[in-house]
Structure 1
Amino acid sequence: MSVSAGRLSWLPGVALAGAGAAAGYGVHALLPGLPWLTASLILGVITGCIPAVRPSLEGVLRPGLAVASRRLLRLGIVVLGLKLSLGDIAALGWVAILSIVALVGVSFVLTWLIARLFRLEGDQPVLLAAGFSICGVSAVGAMAAARGADDRDTGTPITMVTLYGTLAIVVLPALSGLLGLDSRQFGHWVGASVHDVGQVVATAQTAGAAALAIAVVVKLTRVLMLAPMVAIASIQTRRRATGSASASVRPAIVPLFIVGFLVAVLLRSFVPLPDVVLSIADILQSALLAAALFGIGASLRLEQLVRSGLRALGAGLVAWVVILGLALGLVYLT
């Protein structure tokens, strides 16, 4: 009886995360301008701020929230691979593909340097760089798994990715008119600079179907960089662990969920999947990430974020502006 209860100790927290994801979708339905994932994170943070709820969050609900914020996040990353078709990416042309790859690399390094300059702690600079340069929350979660980062280091980068990615939905369409970008250029700019796939869709669709189509393809080309970047991080983590007490628990060079992500990419690229399957996968991926974000939000403690809040906000703002500028330069060059 006690063994069974122990095995199912994750159920209450996962159920709460699922309910939070559903509530986040309800908020999104009422306020379409607020992405589902963002709404779920905000609801999680609000839940974590309620004093009467905190004992349960840190007690009976804690195992399930940990499952939601880690395992569900990784499952969401696997399903994300079904959005990528190698054929669509190849259609961009080698010049565009190589320039996007270069943009991801330069953005990662610059964001990491900016975060270090603002004295962000622990693994936060690496996680912020991954989130801003590759694919937002998914990249933060994947890189955190590869680095063995704790929840405290993960929470701040996810908050920054969510904040500035949401601001892009409002700011970029307004800047597009001032910069004189046509719909294709705007879509390219959005896909090359905005963090999460959902935020890309919400931003690009303001300029029509043509902008949305190019934005999604460019964005998914950046997403494809998730696998090699995480593999590099895993190798570095293994080297760091060599000779230490943690050497016996070194992460795999390519984590299992990244292998699943690559398999999903190949499946989408070479197997004709019905539209209904892709639609279900899209909903499932969003639901998994929404539940994960609620779990992460509920585990955050604002008083801890405040300690590095101004530094993190500053680092995020500078990195965001730099990446917007780099991506805009890429648009004009290609």
Structure 2
Amino acid sequence: MTPTRVAAAPGGWRALTPGLLVAAAAVGVSAGIHLVVPVVPLLTVCVILGIVVGQLPVTRAFLDGVLAPGIALSARRLMRIGVVLLGLKLSLVDVAGLGWVTFFSTVAVVLLAFSGTWLLGKLFRLPGSEPLLLATGFAICGASAIGAMAGVVRAKNSDQAAPIALVTLCGTLAIFVLPALWHPLGLDTIEFGHWVGAGVHDVGQVVATAQLAGSGALAIALVVKLTRVLMLAPIVAVAAVVERRRSVTTTAKRPPLVPLFVAGFIAAILVRTFVPLPDEVLGAADGLQTVLLAMALFALGAGVNLRRMLTTGSRSLLVGLLSWILIAGLALTAVHIAG
């Protein structure tokens, strides 16, 4: 697949349509699976389905052929639009409601998790952009963050494969592992929700995990999680600045100082905070955002080469597991500080 060539794909929308239709159909199939197995979030199912489809020789041929332009568009453009709409979930009023201690401890968890995961990736000599993508996905919001960061730093598809697979694996494990540790750790329902929001990767995985402790735990988990999502804007913007400076010494086209989708994400947060939007509008935006991210995550999953990852990705797996433990520990520390 060649995502950077989508705009110049021969045939325009005619070339894009097959891949877009397949990605949309995959969302429908994933929704059916999610209804049967509701404990696994829809977006996680989409990633897993994409990974499975991407390993089959028959479907791989189509993914690399006629479906490639539409799949590439889903992975890049639809991902960015979905991230913008994700901003409508977050109101600064809700963030302020956490209190300063919880807010700053959540920001600290993101920054320490990001730095720690990046350093682990460098220590284990992961190739290319893998350390950065792993750090972004694990510290902020899973595969969505990986897709957003990959577009800014022009990461290769091969660099995205391991981070996407690992953030899906570890986030899914969290759905089962964290509830098992809830009572042994002596956490009440609100503390458990805080821990989940600060330590689980994807928004859907947070919902699936926190809802087991009731509506109070789910509410705090979502606000804490969306506060972590808020950190996507500054971290991606910093990466864009670094990439822009690096491109000065190369022949590569310089990226924008602030990526357009990051500006849109911030604008959406401000709209959600200061403009009284009807519930119908928010509901429609939420539904569209879910569909767009689901299509994008299926496309990203389809780009994962498990055979290559299993033969050469043992270091990536170790970094992912260590990062997962690091983030869970940092999040638990934040819970005790806030308590």
Question: Same fold, TM exceeding 0.5?
Answer: yes
Kept in 2: contact 1:40–1:290 (CA 8 A): yes
Give, as a single letter, the amino acid of the residue that structure 1 aligns with 2:255.
P
Kept in 2: contact 1:48–1:54 (CA 8 A): yes
- Offset at 1:5? 2.9
- Offset at 1:139? 1.3
- Offset at 1:7? 4.3
Kept in 1: contact 2:79–2:293 (CA 8 A): yes
Kept in 2: contact 1:69–1:296 (CA 8 A): yes
1:177 aligns with 2:168: no
Which of 35, 39, 61 is the matching residue for 1:29?
35
How many equivalent pairs are there? 330
Q: Could you tell me which residue of structure 2 aligns to residue 303 of structure 1?
A: 307
The CA distance in 2 between the partners of 1:53 and 1:219, in whole Å, is 35
- Offset at 1:313? 1.4
1:156 aligns with 2:162: yes
Which of 11, 19, 23 is the matching residue for 1:17?
23
Kept in 2: contact 1:241–1:250 (CA 8 A): yes
1:297 aligned counterpart, secondary structure: helix
Which of 247, 264, 285 is the matching residue for 1:281?
285
Gapped runs of 5+ residues in structure 2?
Answer: 1-8
Kept in 2: contact 1:120–1:308 (CA 8 A): no
Give, as a single letter, the amino acid of the residue that structure 2 aligns with 1:212.
L
- Offset at 1:6? 4.0
1:220 aligns with 2:196: no
Give, as a single letter, the amino acid of the residue that structure 2 aligns with 1:328.
L
Give, as a single letter, the amino acid of the residue that structure 1 aligns with 2:30.
G
- Offset at 1:286? 1.5
1:112 aligns with 2:118: yes
Give, as a single letter, the amino acid of the residue that structure 1 aligns with 2:51.
V
Identical positions, percent: 55
Give, as a single letter, the amino acid of the residue that structure 2 aligns with 1:57.
L
Alignment of 1:115-134 (within 5 A): 115-134=121-140
- Offset at 1:112? 0.6
Kept in 1: contact 2:161–2:305 (CA 8 A): no
- Offset at 1:136? 1.1
The CA distance in 2 between the partners of 1:62 and 1:304, in whole Å, is 20
The CA distance in 1 between the partners of 2:10 and 2:160, in whole Å, is 31
Q: Could you tell me which residue of structure 2 aligns to residue 102 of structure 1?
A: 108
Q: Could you tell me which residue of structure 1 aligns to residue 83 of structure 2?
A: 77
The CA distance in 2 between the partners of 1:102 and 1:306, in whole Å, is 33
- Offset at 1:203? 0.6
Give, as a single letter, the amino acid of the residue that structure 1 aligns with 2:288.
L
User: What is the Cα-based RMSD across aligned positions, in Å?
Assistant: 1.4
1:267 aligns with 2:271: yes
Tell me the TM-score normalized by structure 1: 0.96
Kept in 2: contact 1:65–1:299 (CA 8 A): no
- Offset at 1:71? 0.8
1:8 aligned counterpart, secondary structure: helix
Give, as a single letter, the amino acid of the residue that structure 1 aligns with 2:162.
T
Distance 1:110 1:21, change over 3 A: same
Give, as a single letter, the amino acid of the residue that structure 2 aligns with 1:226.
L
Gapped runs of 5+ residues in structure 1?
Answer: none
- Offset at 1:159? 1.0
Kept in 1: contact 2:16–2:67 (CA 8 A): yes
Q: Could you tell me which residue of structure 2 aligns to residue 139 of structure 1?
A: 145
Give, as a single letter, the amino acid of the residue that structure 2 aligns with 1:70.
R
Give, as a single letter, the amino acid of the residue that structure 1 aligns with 2:295.
A
1:333 aligns with 2:326: no
Q: Could you tell me which residue of structure 1 aligns to residue 248 of structure 2?
A: 242
Tell me the TM-score normalized by structure 2: 0.94
Which of 181, 196, 201 is the matching residue for 1:190?
196
Describe the superposition over 1:48-104 as per-residue Cα deviations: whole angstroms up to 9, x where unpaired.
222222222111111111001111111110110010000000111222212211221
Q: Point out the more displaced range, 158-167 or 115-124.
A: 115-124
Q: Point out the more displaced range, 137-146 or 211-220.
A: 137-146
Q: Could you tell me which residue of structure 1 aligns to residue 237 of structure 2?
A: 231
Q: Could you tell me which residue of structure 1 aligns to residue 295 of structure 2?
A: 291
